A = this chain, B = another copy of it.
């Protein structure tokens, strides 16, 4: 079992991810701008600990960042000197409110490449969890959605793929860090489909894979 911080762990996505990591038996620390809010969520989920974001990011195996795009830069700047050798999993989708159903990738190509710029070249950076509906994560039911995982660090990528089954999810490698653009863009399509096809959290499944991990 791993020691994992969820930065922004009181938000919808962070709380959902944290719930499933706790259930999988990991040592989870809820991070938030306010340690008080973090405490309430940690108690609700039965998480091992809570802290303000920067403190939560220290001395962990994995640090999962679940903040809105508008807070991505500030949050990564806050934790970059704390994370050490931890794997940092950025979940940021570069939505541009109010037109969140429109794909509007940043000039850098992806929020992943923005994260790389914020963190510098030495942090072990992975991106994942772009397409899974937060409210499905924050539940006990099965989730009909694959998790795409991107990184230029093959070991770190594999570690995050391997976290998924315990969370009730199938993780799939999507390749290099820059490929994150595909999953980030897809989120706007899924939001569009929620409205257009009356979906309660549309998801995606990859088909025809003969050697992929089993669907949990």
Interface residues, chain A, CB within 8 Å of chain B? 101-105, 109-110, 144-145, 148, 172-176, 178-179, 181-183, 185-186, 188-190, 192-193, 196-212
User: How many identical subunits does the complex contain?
Assistant: 2
Shortest Cβ gap from A5 to chain B (Å): 28
Are B204 and A209 in contact, CB atoms less than 8 angstroms apart?
A: no
Which chain B residues lie closer than 8 Å to A208 at the CB level?
144-145, 199-203
A15 to B48, CA, bound (A): 58
A121 to B188, CA, bound (A): 24
Are A102 and B206 in contact, CB atoms less than 8 angstroms apart?
A: no
Which chain B residues lie closer than 8 Å to A174 at the CB level?
189, 192-193
Contact with A182, one of B178, B189, B197, B210 (Cβ below 8 angstroms): B189
Which chain B residues lie closer than 8 Å to A202 at the CB level?
206-209
A200 to B70, CA, bound (A): 40
Which chain B residues lie closer than 8 Å to A207 at the CB level?
144-145, 202-205
Are B201 and A204 in contact, CB atoms less than 8 angstroms apart?
A: no
Known: A102-B179, A182-B186, A205-B204. A196 touches B210 (CB 8 A): no
Which chain B residues lie closer than 8 Å to A209 at the CB level?
193, 197-199, 202
Shortest Cβ gap from A84 to chain B (Å): 29
Which chain B residues lie closer than 8 Å to A105 at the CB level?
105, 109, 181
A211 to B195, CA, bound (A): 10
A110 to B182, CA, bound (A): 12
